[in-house]
Amino acid sequence: MFPRLLASRGVLLIYIVHTVGMTALIAAEYIAHAFTNPWAITVKEVVDDGETIGILLIALGVLLECRETLLKRALREKKQDDEHLHLSAMEHDLEYYGVVLLMIGLTIEMMVAILNYVAEHFHANWLYVEIESSFNMITVTVISLLMIAAIAAMIRVIMLMYLPHKTSSD
């Protein structure tokens, strides 16, 4: 029962909407700062926000990637003798978007880790102090673009799960 609950469309929709909302709020904040005061975002804010979004995207990616396995397990619990369960092409597409979200989440986590490392270890270096604001702005811009890509992927996942699909007989 638990694998079926985790793989259900309703639970995934709630998680995706939550993740899209959080990602959109942070991306909107970064974009607003880019137009009004590009140097206002601190390293600590980027690290905290990036870790939050990275973890959410990684978790969503794992759920989407493992959804096929969870559904097979749930179906196997109902039909103990059927070991050759095949799921739809939609499940393969969801697995693909799960991998995409994993990669985006891990990329954001890596960028945040690099930014955090540089900020902690080179904060007294005069060269870092000179380029810190530019480095922050570049990092924020790249993370914002990655968040927009993640939002697009999550919207595509919702479309795959809830819009009618063409079949080969259509």
| pLDDT on residue 25 | 92
Q: What string of DSSP letters covers 25-75?
A: HHHHHHHHHHHH-TT---HHHHHHHHHHHHHHHHHHHHHHHHHHHHHHHHH
11, part of any domain: yes
170, part of any domain: no
Q: What string of DSSP letters covers 131-162?
A: HHHHHHHHHHHHHHHHHHHHHHHHHHHHHHHH
Residues of the chain with confidence (pLDDT) below 50: 80-82, 170
28, part of any domain: yes
| pLDDT on residue 79 | 61
Residues with Cβ within 8 Å of 152's Cβ and at least 6 positions away in sequence, in order, are none
| pLDDT on residue 102 | 92
| pLDDT on residue 8 | 79
The structural domain count of the chain equals: 1
Count of H-run helices and E-run strands, the chain: 5, 0
* pTM (2 d.p.): 0.75
| pLDDT on residue 170 | 45
Are 72 and 34 a contacting pair, CB within 8 Å? Answer: no
- The domain of 60 spans 2-162
46, part of any domain: yes
167, part of any domain: no
169, part of any domain: no
108, part of any domain: yes
| pLDDT on residue 156 | 92
Are 64 and 12 a contacting pair, CB within 8 Å? Answer: yes
23-45 tens-digit pLDDT:
999 989 888 887 888 777 777 88
168, part of any domain: no
